[in-house]
A and B are shown apart, each in its own frame.
Chain A
Amino acid sequence: MLFYFSFLILLSSCQEDILETVPYGESTSAEFWRNGSDAIAASTAMYEPLRTEDLYGHNENVFDNCSDDIFRAGDHGYESAMENFTFDDDNAGFRFGWSPKYEIIGRANSVLINVPDIEDIDDATRDRVLGEAHFLRGFAYWRLHVLYGEVPLILESNVVEGNFNVPKSTVEEIRAQIESDFIAAANLLPVNYPAEDLGRVTKGSANGFLAKLYLYKEEFEKTIEAGEKVLNGPYPLAENFRDNFTVATENNPEMLFSVQGEDNWGDVPKSYDAPRSWGGWDFHNPVVNVVDEFEENDVRLPNSILQPGDIVDRGEMGPFEFTADLTQTGYSLTKYVSYLPDGNIDRDQNVPILRSADVYLMVAEAKIRLNGAGSGDFEINEVRNRAGLDPISNGGMPELIHERRCELVGENQRHQDLMRWDKAGIVDIVQIYGEDRGPFDPSRTFVRPKHYYFPIPQREIDLSNGVLIQNENYK
């Protein structure tokens, strides 16, 4: 007993000072930001939220259900309210992506604060990492501003001061920030990458987004200037339209920016698109109206949408015929769904965000709106040519609108396109959405200007203690 007693004293006496704790598995700011590999780790972390379910894993794609291309087929009640413009301010769909976008911004701000002071790093890596940070911050604000309009602007100084509860900035201020970030990114980023780094953003990604920003701002000359930097750079259209949507070829030069898929990491946009009995969840069904938009022999149609009678190769499981009862509308979005050799959905597939084809059409649109019909024929025909279609001549906005719809269906563009064209008086979105085209494309009431933006998540308003004010039209 005495020995036991003594043994216990010994045991408890010879430990380290019990009040000193160790942050196992984590590092503190003081210990990080030492060298180039820390900078790369921090820049990689900026991409990570993109693939989560709250962003391009699913929820970011839900915003295009509002368009006239897609029917919300899933059983998420809030998505139905979003699609039908019957949502309230606390709709979960507006909440999901809000904070992940600010997380990307926060990670980018950390890089922009700390990487310039790292000494043990080569200039090329430093420039690249800073360029990625500017791009991703600009991109996150891009998405925030197209969805919500006025949002809080969180920059490096907010991080340093720890002050995140700030009032909204105006759309102009947000756009100015996006512009300066994309310009900085275009200056700092490399033109392209060695094979192992494909998927990181390039000079082309930044210029492509600059073109998009200017187009939304209706600064057409600048759109053309920025867009042509892409079109004249090493970012040609892939030879086959489908190359953009197969795992083996999706990181080709045309793909200016896409979210990199990874099996088992939880990103599931492919599952949300595929039919249920084929292993998917069947959430985004194309409607007949968009199917009818395609011209005969457009190779983009079978590569974007499954129609009854289409045959899908599911490897060892064999060829499957698509039938109308597999989905609610009788069509299925197949653009970025492909199958593994064992027949299951290949979750490695990426989600495209910006392609050179989009930049061609943006430049075309800018030229048409600047110089009139016919001035964008060259760019439109480049895209049509790849789709196996005859060239057009003297193309105006109707041709351009048709081309964008067919080229980019399912790529989260249509609703935003319709809204900016509506603002410019080119289309009447109230009429387009108000038309009753059957049960999956019913008449929906779009209210101008209210529905140009979604409400800021009500919870954020509640939490801000009066600092964050709801979008004027939702008060």
Chain B
Amino acid sequence: MLDFKENEKIICLITIISCNRASLTPTKIEMKKTIIYRSIINMSDSKNCFSPKRSRPKMLIIAIFLSMASFAHSNKSEPTPTINTESRDVGFLIAPTVLGQERTITGTIVDEMGVPLSGASVQIKGTATGVAADFDGNFSITVPNEDTILIVSYIGYTTMEVEVGNQSNLNIQLQPNASQLDEVLVVGYGTTVKKDVTGAISSVKGEEFRNLPVASVDKVLQGRLAGVQVVNNGGAPGSSASIRIRGTGTVNDSDPLYVIDGVPTESIAGINQNNIESIEVLKDASASAIYGTRAANGVIIVTTRKGRRGGKTQMNLDFYTGFSNVIKTVDVLNAPELGEIKRERYTNDGIPVDDIWSDPSYLTQRTNWQDELFKTGVTQNVDLSITGASEKSSFFFGLGYYDEQGIIKKAEANRVNLQINSDHSLNNWLKISQNLSLSSRSNNAFNTTSAQTGLIWSAIRFNPGLPVRNADGSYSSSQVSSEFGDINNPIFTVVSNDSDTRRTRLLSNVQAEISFTQDFKFRANFGVDAEITDQKNYEPQILDQIRQSSSSNRFRNYEQFHSFLMEYFLSYNKIFGDHSIGAVAGYTEQSFDSQGFNARTFNVEDIESQKLLTNGDQDEATEFRSNDGLRSVFGRLNYSYMDRYLLTATLRSDESSRFADGNRRGTFPAFSLGWRVSQESFFNVPSISNLKVTGGWGQLGNQNIARLQYLARLSSGRRYSFGLDGSNRVEGVSRVSIANPDVTWETVVMSNFGLEVGFLENKLSTSFNYYIKNTEDMLLQPPAIGSQGSITSPFRNVGEVENKGLEIELNWQDTKGDFSYGIGANAAFVKNKVIKLVDGNFLASDFYGRPNQELSRTFEGEPIATFYGWKANGLFQTQADIDAHATQEGAVPGDVRFIDIDNNGVINDEDRTIIGNPHPDMTYGLNLNATYKGFDFTAFFLGAAGVEIFNADRMQGLDASYPFNLYSEILDRWTGPGTSNTIPRVSTLRTNLNHRTSDLFIESGDYFRLKNLTLGYSLPTDYIEKINLSRLRLYVTGQNLFTITGYSGLDPELGLTDGNLQQNVDFAQFPQPRTFLLGINLSF
């Protein structure tokens, strides 16, 4: 233990380093306490790097706490030496008998491995008297007599009652509690046990998703937690998913906040899922309000693996490799069929057939472009981890490499990841821990969301009569005829691609925990999150494809982001008889800075060594920068009475730079109550082992909107060239925004009602949560009406969105001899509804591709991003059908009949209505696992029900007015009365607009997918010990093995195509592949 003078030195060291011009000199280091305090005051007055507004309290706080810690420990007597025994078989050991009345008992509390349990509680039964074990697990307590019974408890361990008798020294060993109720959950700024939770928290352990073949953690969460919807944005290697917790709460940024080992951040990218110990999702306001302003969309707490005290050093080597294939392709016409349809469309229109459709050389089937595009992908992963510990320190070291070559050539991703975590107890009052994650990941992706140039979109549509390459070796081109459309040869697009994006991220923090007493602690946490993005691209000169590049160009974009976190908080936990209190209070601030530049030069030679910015005609260079800051105080109180009545109350107050001075502060309160009915003496239902009801309410904030909304800004870049030869390029400046000085937070108000029931000694545990989540003051940009030009409207706090939902989780775990098995099921039902928008108006979304069609709108009273268009009612079979119908200008038999929604006798824009909902009514997951002797088996299913998809690709794929190839389905088109009632006649004219946005192209998006199946076998221990291994497991894994769906497109998981405003629209996105893996786990 440090003596007081050493403590003084630490304080001085910190103050001197922090404040290089403070009025302290090295000669004054050996000073008395009074001098320290004077120094603290002086320091905070000094006009140095600290801005008086901010740093003074901060430094004051830390210095005072450090001093208090030193006081507390310098005044405390040394603990009485204890007798340790090596016994592991008994809970306590009988020591020499001492007779007498009131006396002092000492003892040590250890876990099943013999590791001291610092902070374990020792209480005299029937009284409020209690103490906690110190760092070494030692305690000392005065007991009234021999009959005294001590209650020894520790989070995660079975509580033990110990009769004192005539012992004076107890060596107590606690056994871990297998019950789920005692499972430790990581929550904001602390931990709790499941039985005490009054909010809605879901948790998943890292083991459940180890060694799954995806590059990012967000994807492995899919289907595992009720109420956590993972929206896959395609299956391209390295692509990320959007996570929606409890529905889409706002049309703005609805991504959750991640807290990785205590560092709040917006991204989980770069974290290796194999290094994760557990993930907790804070879903309701009571659980997440401690993160106030950024908690509106939920909080995901990620804890990486740590070394285990007392555990021996162990090395694990995991390796897997496998291959992946496309699951499905779109059936398209072959060349002769295409010719037939093309000729027919001209004939139908009375237009001469273009000669190319009679040219036998283009009527010969040559290429199935999708087959040419998709290939077998290869994935491999290797992870090395080492964990170990001494009595005072522990560490985790992880080094991993992941490489995925996708199902399209050059669509690839890889990641190298280093994780180093350690913690150290320097003495009995100071504990330091650090986490460091360094990752470098690279990926290359193709555009697969454009209906003009998208790669898969192009492969579906490129002419099947063209070869991949011409006889002379050049790539075939639709320049041959305007009848082939303006699509570049997709294989050429792949081959000519030369781009790469590499991101290097450092996420690290160091924490110091100072214990004033066993109950009262101070913690400081300093973190850094930094990322460098380096994007390189080269485009050759393209003259022999229809979409040309008049000159080659080299582009490079370099960005760096960094964020610093600094926080200090106090925690106090104490049990007074039937009363248990836990409190946390603290201060935090985080700064964010993002900057970068990019440049493009033209006419760079297509030679690897020449592809540098310096080797071209420099044309443009841009630099950009932005910064943000957040400063907050927070507090939480947990109280429980008799382990039955529970209360949690939270308050957080934030100030954010996103808003104008005066509107910066937001305060977010929350509370929740719980009643553990099964603890009551009157409760006597043998089959129900646990019954808890909870209810809570709270407010949360969301600040993620475009910066500087409170300023009217002007921007340059509106260039124009003048002069005789146009060489005088003049810079133009114009206004880009209208200011709103009043812009402030979005506020979410959420109520949660929970019910937790455990049956049969909690073999079956269930939980039900119902919530109402209202986003008030949603920040909306009034729709940019054309008459204001392209100036953006400022955000205003006017919108409201409501999400109501029910979440159910069921878990069954049982063992029968060597066979143990478990079933986990979860389901979430959510209803999303927009209550209020600007002036009752709707929000538009991006228009679709070439036809420039509107697909989705967001209306009041409806879910976000509903599909909006006409309703179709079959096809007109005869002229009589047309005459009998409302006036539909231009319609002829074989055209689509649209419904006259407003009954005014004319089909026009007023007949558009809501035609579909992209949000699933229910998402669910089902996890089956079993082990028998050395075998292990896991099957993981997930799905969605009550969801609709707008199949825009099919809409265009059936529209013969385009000069593209078509879906095979068009062979069933209308060719005369009675031939079809769904696929209209083919035509080049758009007189009836058969392919306007209508419910003809809406399909059910329900699916049930076997996401993952793993079968493993661990070799018997006695066998592998001969080769010095402690574990050898071989396994096979299949990913996306089967999907039951009625959806006709490539993949029913489609994601977002215009923020939250357009969802579940099929643009021929990159589909998720089917993957098979073979892996091995080795432990030494």
Contacts and interface: CB of A to CB of B under 8 A. Distances in A.
A173 to B, nearest CB: 15
A303 interface: no
A164 B787 contact: yes
Contact of B736 (A26, A76, A465): A26
Nearest to B989: A80
Nearest to A279: B548
Contacts of A84: 989, 991
Contacts of A277: 479-480
Given A26-B713, A77-B990, A165 B787 contact: yes
A411 interface: no
B815 interface: no
Interface in B898-944: 908-909
Given A44-B720, A264-B619, A9 B18 contact: yes
Contacts, number: 313
A344 B543 contact: yes
B14 A463 contact: no
B482 interface: yes
B890 interface: yes
B789 A195 contact: no
Nearest to B735: A110
A2 B718 contact: no
B732 A19 contact: no
B98 interface: no
A59 to B, nearest CB: 11
B655 interface: yes
Contact of A262 (B631, B715, B721): B721
Interface in B781-822: 783-791
B589 to A, nearest CB: 6
B38 interface: no
B657 interface: yes
A251 B715 contact: no
Interface stretch (B363-371, B574-582, B850-858, B1043-1051): B850-858
Contact of A90 (B713, B715, B787, B909): B909
Contact of B625 (A14, A25, A92): A25
Contact of A247 (B51, B625, B725, B787): B725
A17 B657 CA distance: 10
A105 interface: yes
Given A23-B713, A90-B909, A15 B993 contact: no
Contact of A86 (B51, B722, B890): B890
B675 interface: no
A462 B842 CA distance: 8
B76 interface: no
B961 interface: yes
A459 B54 CA distance: 50
B789 A100 contact: yes
A379 interface: no
Contacts of A73: 482
A116 to B, nearest CB: 17
Nearest to A200: B722
Interface string B524-538: 101010000000000
Interface string A1-13: 1101111111111
Nearest to B485: A75
Nearest to A98: B786
B707 interface: yes
A32 B565 CA distance: 36
B13 A348 contact: no
B1020 interface: no
Given A44-B730, A75-B962, A99 B789 contact: yes
B660 to A, nearest CB: 10
Given A41-B716, A199-B721, A162 B738 contact: yes
Contacts of A7: 17
Interface in A137-189: 152, 154, 162, 164-166
Given A75-B963, A100-B790, A458-B909, A42 B564 contact: no
A277 B543 CA distance: 9
B602 interface: yes
B854 A198 contact: no
B426, B626, B791, B854: most-surrounded residue (chain A CB, <10 A):
B791
21 contacts: A14-B49, A18-B630, A18-B631, A19-B664, A32-B714, A42-B733, A86-B990, A86-B991, A88-B908, A88-B909, A92-B851, A99-B786, A100-B790, A102-B786, A107-B734, A195-B723, A198-B724, A262-B726, A263-B550, A439-B350, A463-B783
Interface of B: 10, 13-14, 17-19, 49-51, 53-55, 58-59, 62, 350-352, 354-355, 424, 426, 432, 434, 479-482, 485-486, 510, 512, 524, 526, 528, 543, 546, 548, 550-551, 564-566, 589-591, 595, 602, 619, 623-631, 655-658, 664, 707-708, 711-716, 718-726, 728-736, 738, 783-791, 839-842, 844, 847, 850-852, 854, 889-890, 908-909, 959, 961-963, 988-991, 993, 996
Top 6 A-B residue pairs of the complex, sorted by shortest distance between their CB atoms: A18-B629, A103-B789, A45-B732, A92-B852, A8-B526, A45-B718
Given A29-B712, A199-B726, 17 more contacts: A4-B510, A5-B526, A9-B14, A9-B18, A10-B17, A18-B629, A21-B657, A21-B658, A26-B713, A28-B711, A81-B991, A98-B786, A105-B789, A107-B735, A197-B723, A198-B724, A199-B723
